[in-house]
Structure 1
Amino acid sequence: MEPRAVSNKSNGNGIGNHQHGEFDIITWFDDVSGNAGFVQRETLRQILLQNCDVEYLKKWFGDIKVQEMDACALESLFTSLVPLVSHADLDPYIQRIADGDTTPVLTKEPITTLSLSSGTTEGRQKYVPFTRHSSQTTLEIFRLAAAYRSRVFPIREGGRILELIYSSKQFKTKGGLTAGTATTHYYASEEFKIKQEKTKSFTCSPDEVISGGDYKQSNYCHLLLGLFFSDEVEFITSTFAYSLVQALIVFEDLWKDICDDIREGKLSSRINLPKMRKAVLEIISPKPCLASQIEGNCNKLQSVDWFGLIPKLWPNAKYVYSIMTGSMQPYLRKLRHYAADLPLVSADYGSTESWIGVNMDPFLPPENVTFAVIPTFSYFEFIPIYRQKDFSSAIDDFIEDEPVPLSQVKVGQEYEIVLTTFTGLYRYRLGDVVEVADFHKGTPKLNFVCRRKLILSINIDKNTEKDLQLVVEKGSQLLSKRGAELVDFTSHANMGSQPGHYIIYWEINGEVEETVLQECCSQMDASFVDHGYVVSRRTNSIGALELCIVKSGTFRKILDQFIGNGAALSQFKTPRCTQNQVLLRILNDWTIKRFHSTAYC
């Protein structure tokens, strides 16, 4: 295929224009993947041509006429002149925009909307520019992913989707810009309205439920309507596996009320938002036979701890669809419990800053999924990184080389992703570590490894979120043998005591003897393989690991804390490590048992 055929399929923003069905978009993706190197250079050229006169780029380019340069020369010049940055480097520029600066600071097009990152690691949210391009790429990746899923899991025409999705409250910055989560902006966008209009017969919940702003009321209505249309539901989805699990845990408590509403065609008084209430009441009507059927199923499900809840209540559902990688992996055990043999399909790879890759292989289990990079969405660079072999220094957790373009990555190598976006981020270090697992034609397929940031470190120890996750998995295996389960967890590097030590907080479901919990604690301590941690423990430079068991509902309270600060349920991720004093106060106040490791005694 000639390269010009690729560019002819672009709408000028680096996004394909697909109006002719699911498989046309797959053909488009095959085309751009086969010419990924060329497409990437053209994507960068479009970004720079649109924004070459903005303040940030002029700082580096000066009077260079980028319009007169070809794509190859421009790529080389850009990567040699413009530095790699973190969010902290761009934050002063973004803050000026938030405060009302209307000059072209980062983009030529005015930025009128700012997204908030989840901020769940430390409770601090950061602003990220959100533009029409952000909504367009979201719609685009949804179409592409749906096309691949439909090849494996074809759905009936006229069937419905139970979408457990939620908007949060938006607010105005000092300069009058709308700020909120990226998901909230998308649900308010024209692109989402187009999607809903085209598939309105497929979605169980109306916009008034999605955008209600109270996730508890929205959740109840999602479940009610999902069951009202239970025989028509083709698949069940939410942004994160966490919100799916939370919704089903809530259902265990509310199913009788939901059945009463379905039987009588009414709506519980707990729903007091007028628009939401009116919209739901316009949809439902009395279905006494369905209510009795659901009641019978729930009574049976209770006796097996709700195993197979999803296929039992939604008998025609083909799969469950959500982001299930990275920090969502700990929820897979519970989700599989609810899903039984129903396939779990991992959703696509993205961030608040940009969408990155699509899951082309929806038949694979979430643990094995890879994501094919979409070369039109942003300009991607990859910093080769190597695990530190010499642990005598705590300066850095990785050794890195110079960034390489997408076309030069190698299978088996780990990289940190760098983004240059249409929304005003230039050579932006995303902080995600990925491994190149394979290629789809000329575009890499990535396996998400971990966040680059060290989340647990006291001395020369270096442990990432993935390290912690593996340790917790090993320790919690002892719970399942006793018929209990780990509901959620987080951690804290406590340097307020001497020597400093790790604290891991567990919320568990079920009764477990204290001797077993003590064994869990020591097992986790012994499972950290980081050489710096092992040496520090043996020399008592780091103290014994502490396991704190918290009361039931503690992590729900943490969720409420974040929701109260403006986060959306659809964007929430439990912080795997925190120094946030508000959260630590909740965790410590709700701790009911403490254990200290004897692994190194």
Structure 2
Amino acid sequence: MIVSGLMAAQAWSALRFHRALARPERAQAGCLARVLDAVSGSAQAARVPGFSRVRTAREFQDAFPLTTPDSVLADIEALKGGASRVLTREPVVRFEPSGGSSGASKFIPMTRGLSREFHEGLAPMLFDMFATRPGVRAGPSYWSISPIGRKQGRTAGGTPVGSVEDSAYFPRPLQPLLARVFAVPGAVAHLPDVESCRYVTLWFLVARGDLALLSVWNPSFLTLLMDALERHGERLAEDLARGFCRPPGAEREEVRAALARMRFSPHPERARVLREALRADVRGPVLWPRLALLSMWTEAQAERAVAPACRHFPGVEVQGKGLLATEGIVTLPLVSAPAPVLAVRSHFFEFLDPAHPEARPRLAHELEQGREYAVVLSTSGGLVRYQLGDRVRVEGFHQATPCLRFLGRADAVCDLVGEKLSSSRVSHVLATTLPALLGQRPAFAMMAPEWEPPAAPPEYRLFLDTDAPPARLEEAAHALERVLCEGFHYRYARELGQLGPLRVLRVSGGARRYEARCIALGQRAGDIKPADLHRQPGWTNWFAL
């Protein structure tokens, strides 16, 4: 009954979206008009000569420059300080932290207009999921949207930072309904650290034998959740049987305060099932026999983390997520589409052609099948002609609207001394070289720069979670170095002595420790993406701890 109510609430948005797919140019014109209306009357509009005369997409491109996270930083800081009407007329409801994987976190201003734009993409996705997969309607869901392990803070101007409830991205009237289909209460977000969050999350998940959907972002998040089940399984079984919850650090005041927000009752039968699952080789089917769908990132660098996550849930369908950034929603998955479909009613989109960077960005209806582009986003939240930094490829069209495959970051380049080493280049080198050298792709593999001046020049280090012997790691270092030197800029930096040779270092618990540092750098646990190339130094010392 609850899911039927949710489907009814989403039906009108889903219908409008499907109608818009036949006429993307018209839908995008409506999005542009909405963005211009939101920006009017703001300091941003005042900086644009002739703003009031801007109507068409071409006029918009001529009037507004392309922007980047750095170019809007001053405006974001003003908003964080409490200034109003900076990017839009609307007040900022909250800031969402984004990034941290290669530098400092960004703060994205969320307005009610931007929230409505998210819903224009999320509603069709939810409706399609429930309509095409009856099994998902049969039980509760787990959605990993909350900022797990983070405290909700405020900016200097008093604006909240981060959403607490998983339903925060949906319209307020729907939030009570959504909360009733969530297997895990949003209050787990108040727990102060990831380990306690995982324990409590598992308590609620194991308590629900009718779980129908697991939705996470990074598939390794699900793997780490199941690893925590291995570590804490017997203690969880005791807690379920007796009706209380003792996560790691339960004696801490902030953990006790968070637990007080939740209700725990005895589940002796589920405790028995958990003990049975702990004795099995594969635990997912024992714990959740009605699980119908796993939703997660499956593209770009996340692809290699899918198989380790799915081994816990054999036979369960996997649906790849679309491209959803903190700044906006780019694509959404539909069962009948060849790839995630452009969220044509959410924001105004432009697409840069990497082969012709000087050319005018293309509009949604101008994209060509098989071509690659970089996404430019304009939203009612005030980010205008914002270069998102994501690369996509057109896999086909759903009606007349492009379907886009996420390829990775367009701006992930390390350039310490002119070597210009890109994430896409490193991904290709690791994917084509490591399996032949080590027999398989390691569970964790990541390159990162290190620089310890003045003793030595900077160098790259490859961190591998593997049991290969030292001689094989040395061999891998030489082989990878040879391939990297096929790139002109990397080879030139090596020849000049500006860059030291690649080193390969063994690590243990790589994925878990990688996650811990990303959180320390400002990311949310559920949002952390795998990285073949991480631009932040300091990983050698971190893994040595």
Question: When the two structures are superposed, what TM-score results if normalisation uses the length of structure 2?
Answer: 0.87
Match for residue 87 of structure 1? Answer: 69
The correspondence for 1:374, drawn from 328, 343, 354, is 343
Structure 1 residue matching 2:274: 3-state secondary structure? helix
Counterparts in 2 of 1:22-421, with a 5 A limit? Answer: 24-62=12-50, 65-66=52-53, 71=55, 74-102=56-84, 104-122=85-103, 124-155=104-135, 157-167=137-147, 168-180=150-162, 184=163, 187=166, 189=168, 191=170, 194-230=173-209, 232-268=210-246, 270=248, 271=250, 273-280=255-262, 282-287=263-268, 289-301=269-281, 308-361=282-335, 370-386=339-355, 399-421=357-379
1:355 Cα shift?
0.8
- Flag the 1:258–1:148 CA change in 2: closer, same or farther, 3 A: same
1:581 Cα shift?
4.8
- Flag the 1:177–1:25 CA change in 2: closer, same or farther, 3 A: closer
Structure 1 residues 417-426 or 237-246, which shifts more? Answer: 237-246
Whether 2:442 is the aligned partner of 1:455: answer no
Match for residue 392 of structure 1? Answer: none
Could you list the per-position Cα deviations for residues 315-350 of structure 1 after superposition, in whole angstroms to 9, with x for gaps in the alignment?
111121122323322312311322333222112212
Structure 1 residue matching 2:212: 3-state secondary structure? strand
Runs of 4+, deviation exceeding 6 Å: none
1:76 Cα shift?
2.4
CA distance, structure 2, for counterparts of residue 440 and residue 135 of structure 1: 25
CA distance, structure 1, for counterparts of residue 389 and residue 221 of structure 2: 24
CA distance, structure 1, for counterparts of residue 136 and residue 360 of structure 2: 49
Whether 2:449 is the aligned partner of 1:492: answer yes
CA distance, structure 2, for counterparts of residue 323 and residue 211 of structure 1: 25
CA distance, structure 1, for counterparts of residue 41 and residue 146 of structure 2: 38
CA contact (8 A) 2:448 2:539 kept: no
Question: When the two structures are superposed, what TM-score results if normalisation uses the length of structure 1?
Answer: 0.80
How many aligned residue pairs are there? 532
1:234 Cα shift?
0.8
Identity of aligned residues (%): 17
Match for residue 393 of structure 1? Answer: none
Could you list the per-position Cα deviations for residues 541-592 of structure 1 after superposition, in whole angstroms to 9, with x for gaps in the alignment?
6553211112x245534433443565321223355444545545314x35xx
Match for residue 3 of structure 2? Answer: none
1:56 Cα shift?
1.5
CA contact (8 A) 1:474 1:523 kept: no
Could you list the per-position Cα deviations for residues 53-89 of structure 1 after superposition, in whole angstroms to 9, with x for gaps in the alignment?
2222221134x533xx7x4xx3222211211121211
- Flag the 1:440–1:495 CA change in 2: closer, same or farther, 3 A: farther
Match for residue 468 of structure 1? Answer: 426
CA contact (8 A) 1:417 1:429 kept: yes
- Flag the 1:42–1:290 CA change in 2: closer, same or farther, 3 A: closer
1:407 Cα shift?
1.5
Match for residue 598 of structure 1? Answer: none
CA distance, structure 2, for counterparts of residue 198 and residue 333 of structure 1: 33
CA distance, structure 2, for counterparts of residue 98 and residue 116 of structure 1: 12
1:107 Cα shift?
0.5
CA distance, structure 1, for counterparts of residue 187 and residue 173 of structure 2: 16
Q: Which runs of 5+ in 2 are unaligned?
A: 1-5
Q: Which runs of 5+ in 1 are unaligned?
A: 1-17, 302-307, 387-397, 591-601
Could you list the per-position Cα deviations for residues 448-487 of structure 1 after superposition, in whole angstroms to 9, with x for gaps in the alignment?
12211243445664442232223333444258748x9423
- Flag the 1:417–1:159 CA change in 2: closer, same or farther, 3 A: same
Structure 2 residue matching 1:126: 3-state secondary structure? strand
CA distance, structure 2, for counterparts of residue 277 and residue 492 of structure 1: 41
1:384 Cα shift?
1.0
- Flag the 1:492–1:340 CA change in 2: closer, same or farther, 3 A: farther
1:188 Cα shift?
7.2
